[in-house]
Structure 1
Amino acid sequence: MQLRLHKFWALSLLVAFVSSCAPSNEKPNILWITIEDTSPHFIGCYGNEDAKTPVIDQLASEGVRFTNAFSTGTVCSPSRTAIITGVKTYKTGTGNHRSAIAVPEYMKGYPYYLQQQGYYTSNNKKTDYNVGDEKAYTAEAWHECADTAGWWNKAEGQPFFAVFNFMDSHQSRTMTHTYAWYKKQVLTKLPEEERIAENDFDMPPFYNDTPKMRKQFARVYNSLKLTDNKVGALLQRLEADGLKDNTIIFFYADHGEGIPRGKTNGINLGYRVPFIAWFPEKFKHLSPWGTGGVVTDELVSFEDLAPTVISLAGREIPKHMTGRTMMGRKPSKEAEHLVLSSDRADNGIDMVRTVTNGKYVYSRNFMPYLPEVRYIRYMEISDIKQQMRRDYEQNKLNDVQKKLFEARAHEYLYNIEDDEWELNNLVNDAAHQELLSDMRQLLKKEMLESRDILLMPEYELELLADSIPPYEYRLGADYAIDEILESAWLAGDRTDDALVKQINNLSHANQIVRYWAAVGLCSQSDDVLKRYEEEIKQAMSDDYAPVAITTAAIAYNQFADENAEALIKDYCMHSDNNLALMAIHYLMYVDNKMPFVDTVKASRELEGRDYNPKAAAVDFLGSLGLMPNNPSYRQ
């Protein structure tokens, strides 16, 4: 009998020991804390000693801090669309800010798959998804999507996936809205001892270091301090509800800092985000890095988030999601590089594609005639942007600061370990030519293999989406990606060989090839364009509107052509918002704007105008001093 008791207790101890060591099958709660418009450059745990972010810093000291996490877009709706679909926007066609592009029916928002695993899914509350019928898409993904949503509405014992989005570091606080509005929304909500004064930080060197600029830039630090306070309050509620010990926490920003040259701009400052993962004791085995202040330089992209949480919930990952599973029982192999993208933001048309390995960032600007701080109405209303433009016009900026307002190089290569603020472009550096070539080829390979559908002008993309999701169309033979990319790849190349190819491509059978030939010519020098005046004028009669508009803009600016002027005026008044935006967009960068003033005014007032051409119209008029630059004139 005594022997049997000994065996019983020994067996019980063994079972208890094995149970304590074995991974639990219990599903973890998952809390996502998303903040707005923030680069790691301005967070304490990422090395900024001037920042006051103790809550975020503590989360990092107890969890895992990622130094190489990147948004797949540089403005909110593309980045959030990549997150919700788990697919990069240059595959789905959803990269243009606040568009509405159909995705395939089977491409559900990732919380839908968590619901199938028994999770209660809540979003508090921002969506901003660039998908057709966003309302229905959102309803299918979330049990609850509102400013009252949270884990507190789940059933007893039900695992939850909860997202909380804090707006306090949004660009509206840090730059675009008036200083009085910022004081009310941010500064007065901070005790005096928590405020960051205007001389208590280092200014980024691409800004003029003046008292007026410092007054505006202090908004970044104070907005982040208020954000940190609110994150702390949320974590206290989680703990008070007795749920922290069962919850994995993710903290990250939706893209880079909401300041001129950051957000909307396809460089590291636009893409890189703070990213922290925190694991409770019982789920530490799901972290391949360990915990307790671990720092990893592993590359993370937003397309990795959906497959990661679906895997944590115990479900098979849908085939259309090709991102990595970062953690869990079967983490994927680490990525060697990432490909990122930046496209239209509000009325600011653009296209940038980027490759990074964490140490270097290579960006290709497909519209290099545009400056880094191009005209975007939502940014033009800000005091800081207006001050920068005044300083530029009054020749108060140094060479680094002036570059923000001048045409870009068509390629950037930055060593972001040694050059935090991306001031030294290494494209022409002899020691980096092999790396430059490798990154070029990586980018081109990815654009071809993914069949980057955003090479289509937005006008064409929306026409296409009426009949077939661009994600699916791009896979068919009708999408001539090889020829299209070859034409687009010439943009910014000022060699004679590239110029001749662009001129020849103006008569190519494929209209998208012709479009990119025209866009490429926008970056050619004035003297060489004059040699091809006849070919450019002939292209103005192209039956594909984006080609006609683009070549008309060149012909007007270079040759003062009256037919070109009339054609641009016609398209400014066009009922299609994308074509009207394109026409007004080009006018922002011509030398003589005055003949178009009355037309642009009339275009803005047309019935059916959406935000983007109206915003472009106000930027055009504002640049001529014909309309105040303040929040009441956003449209």
Structure 2
Amino acid sequence: MFRALVLFCFGVISAAAAADRPNILWLTSEDNGPQYGCYGDTYATTPHIDALAAKGIRFKRCWSNAPVCAPARTCLISGRWAPADGAEHMRSDIPLPDGHQMYPQFLRSVGYYCSNNSKEDYNLTKPKDGKKDLVWNESSGKAHWKNRAEGQPFFAVFNDTITHESQIRRRPHTLIHDPAKAPLPPFHPDTPEVRHDWAQYYDNITLMDGKLGKHLDELEKAGLAEDTIIMHYGDHGPGMPRFKRWPYNTGLQVGLIMHFPEKWKHLAPKGYAPGGVNEELVSFVDLTATLLSIAGVKPPDYFQGRAICGEFAKPAPEFIHGFRGRMDERYDLVRSTTDGRYVYIRNYLPHLPYGQFLNYMFQQATTRVWKAQFDEGRLPEPQTRFWKPKPAEELYDLESDPWETINLADSTAHAEIKTRLAQGQRQWLTQVRDLGFIPEGERLAQAKTQSPKDIFATEEAYPITTVMEAADLATNPALAKPEALAKWLDHSNASVRYWAVQGYLIRGENAIRTNAPKIEQMLGDSSPSVRIAAAETLISVAQSPAVLERSTRTLLDCADMKTQPYFVAIEAVNVLDRWQVRLKPWQAQIHALPGQAPESVQKRLKEYIARLHDHLLEGDQIKSTGEN
């Protein structure tokens, strides 16, 4: 009897809490930037999106934080900068920090019915009670706001996958848009394959636009349009090479459109008017706080974005930020920052080319023809740049160079601008305690089954200022000579030692030879990531047979999943693959390494080691995979 009374009271409280709250509808899409008519794209055909913008507000400067789906969605579901939780890679399976919730849990606590149709794809482990989903009321292809209780406010997501990268390469396809008129970026070669891919990309946006229109019609016919706030956005930039996966403005900018019916205009962004344009800086870490603010729920203090509008709105920041980590099987570390006009890029692994071989990316015709023409020496600048190592720093003026092809990082006329953005970026990364500067193998080995955020919460565990200083000096040869790195090689923190070794690798043979004996000692370091970095550094230059043998044996040991954690093996096999020509005498041992992930590895992560082994065995041969 008492239990029944408690449940009844809870139901009454929930109903009261839910009273007079707006419905909220998110119509999202995948792998597409703001290539819409309402954003000035004359090649696009998007009548429904344009109509929504005409009666709502269009955000001119919205970034997805990550240029690929899973990390971007992780920022959305958590309201946090994914690298702050160690969840920045594509993909991961990281425990939520203690005491944290995903945003639908906040909405459900005040009476909302929360449905998600159809994709999740988070890098954070979703809370469950046994098999019971604690995040969504329903998350499936059948999820719909119609399934809520009568009179219950809803928050509903409908995600369209027709614009996904995988749909650009789907054949046969009868083009709607004329490929001869496709607006090609200057860094892509002008070939029939590239034009077809771009035309098909725009075709898919038109198809998505039609489906979005049907959702709006359904809402109208149900008599709910005047009670529902609508938002539309893509999850990152276009699913084309050097757009998707790259934290330039072209890879991060998305169209964001909001419509507030008359009843709920008091919750709208400042200056809201039909057909209006908002020029504030916004990003995905803001959308979660905004959602809660609109629903009358105060965002928790651990959220790292700000509410754009609603009851708990806050002013716009001076900068917004983006990131790139491991992309499937290949490692990289990039951070980007914009003030709305200039974009500052910091490459922390500049010795690696932009266009590392990535099985999934190479399934697209544009990627293959672009790389083939580079290999044949047929490309002019800036089309060659994607296949070469990166500068440590990049700076672009979006006003004069929207395609981000003219690097101003060394321009004396732009020195103050670069410094301002670089300092803004460093302040942000330090403030949120970006864990991306801890190698993944090292980070997961220490965290085990706990949240990396919780494990590395103290300065003792993660002295972020020191780690970032080491990373800066190591990865920008203009900042420090090799001898300045030597002091970091004996540091007590493994991440500092890792970056010091990387500094020698990046500087090349002359630098490595100044401290080769010390680097050789580090083949016995307690951290597997440091051992791997030391081995690659020594292998990169001609060494005695004994040193080359020991370095290779170190990598073979770290690459063995029978004795090493999965992502330690991923780090090591990446190095073996990069240097397989030099390591040809050990080819048999390399090929004999286990190439199948252990059963304990999450299903969507298993294929990464297999792709690396395929490349070791077969080179740039493409094996078709599913959606990514």
When normalised by structure 1's length, the TM-score is 0.89
Please state if 1:147 is matched with 2:136: no
Deviations 1:555-587 (A, max 9, x none): 112125222223223322243221111112123
Partner residue of 1:62? 55
Further displaced range: 95-104 or 587-596 = 587-596
Question: What CA distance in whole angstroms lies between the structure 2 residues aligned with 1:369 and 1:385?
Answer: 21
* SS of equivalent residue, structure 1 residue 147: coil
Question: What CA distance in whole angstroms lies between the structure 1 residues aligned with 2:475 and 2:495?
Answer: 17
Note the 1:218-257 alignment, pairs <5 A. Answer: 218-257=199-238
Partner residue of 1:395? 377
8 Å contact 1:381–1:634 — kept in the other structure?
Answer: no
Select which of 279, 287, 290 maps to 2:260.
279
Question: What CA distance in whole angstroms lies between the structure 1 residues aligned with 2:624 and 2:45?
Answer: 29
Question: What CA distance in whole angstroms lies between the structure 2 residues aligned with 1:129 and 1:261?
Answer: 23
Letter in 1 for 2:165: Q
Letter in 1 for 2:534: T
Select which of 155, 166, 170 maps to 2:160.
166
The verdict on how the C-alpha distance between 1:323 and 1:632 changes in structure 2, with shifts beyond 3 A counting, is closer
Q: CA deviation at 1:98?
A: 2.1
Q: CA deviation at 1:634?
A: 11
Note the 1:42-191 alignment, pairs <5 A. Answer: 42-133=35-126, 139-175=133-169, 179-180=170-171, 183=172, 187=173
* SS of equivalent residue, structure 2 residue 354: coil
The verdict on how the C-alpha distance between 1:446 and 1:138 changes in structure 2, with shifts beyond 3 A counting, is farther
Deviations 1:363-402 (A, max 9, x none): 1111111222222221123222221211111111112111
Partner residue of 1:411? 393
The verdict on how the C-alpha distance between 1:118 and 1:618 changes in structure 2, with shifts beyond 3 A counting, is same
Letter in 1 for 2:571: M
Deviations 1:70-105 (A, max 9, x none): 112121111111111111112211111221111224
8 Å contact 1:347–1:613 — kept in the other structure?
Answer: yes
8 Å contact 1:36–1:254 — kept in the other structure?
Answer: yes
Letter in 1 for 2:592: A
Q: CA deviation at 1:216?
A: 2.6
Partner residue of 2:14? none
Please state if 1:386 is matched with 2:368: yes
Partner residue of 1:335? 317
Question: What CA distance in whole angstroms lies between the structure 2 residues aligned with 1:234 and 1:243?
Answer: 12
Please state if 1:217 is matched with 2:210: no
8 Å contact 1:511–1:544 — kept in the other structure?
Answer: yes
How many percent of aligned residue pairs carry the same amino acid? 33
Question: What CA distance in whole angstroms lies between the structure 1 residues aligned with 2:260 and 2:626?
Answer: 46
Partner residue of 2:549? 562
Question: What CA distance in whole angstroms lies between the structure 2 residues aligned with 1:537 and 1:380?
Answer: 36
Question: What CA distance in whole angstroms lies between the structure 2 residues aligned with 1:376 and 1:604?
Answer: 20
Further displaced range: 139-148 or 312-321 = 312-321
Question: What CA distance in whole angstroms lies between the structure 2 residues aligned with 1:553 and 1:64?
Answer: 51
Partner residue of 2:448? 466
8 Å contact 2:293–2:313 — kept in the other structure?
Answer: no
8 Å contact 2:127–2:134 — kept in the other structure?
Answer: no
8 Å contact 1:84–1:306 — kept in the other structure?
Answer: yes
Gaps of 5+ in 2: 1-17
The verdict on how the C-alpha distance between 1:394 and 1:516 changes in structure 2, with shifts beyond 3 A counting, is same
Q: CA deviation at 1:540?
A: 2.0
The verdict on how the C-alpha distance between 1:418 and 1:604 changes in structure 2, with shifts beyond 3 A counting, is farther
8 Å contact 1:365–1:411 — kept in the other structure?
Answer: yes
Deviations 1:95-125 (A, max 9, x none): 1122111122421111111112211100002
Please state if 1:362 is matched with 2:344: yes
Letter in 2 for 1:259: M
The verdict on how the C-alpha distance between 1:448 and 1:550 changes in structure 2, with shifts beyond 3 A counting, is same
Partner residue of 1:268? 249
- Residues paired across the two proteins, number: 595
Letter in 1 for 2:213: G
8 Å contact 1:622–1:629 — kept in the other structure?
Answer: no
Q: CA deviation at 1:25?
A: 8.0
Please state if 1:578 is matched with 2:560: no
Deviations 1:333-376 (A, max 9, x none): 12111132221121121111122111111111111112222222
Further displaced range: 92-101 or 614-623 = 614-623
Deviations 1:169-226 (A, max 9, x none): 1111124xxx42xx3xxx46xxx7xx11221212111011012322233221112111
Partner residue of 1:587? 576
Partner residue of 2:511? 528
CA RMSD of aligned residues (A): 2.3
Q: CA deviation at 1:520?
A: 2.7
Question: What CA distance in whole angstroms lies between the structure 1 residues aligned with 2:479 and 2:98?
Answer: 47
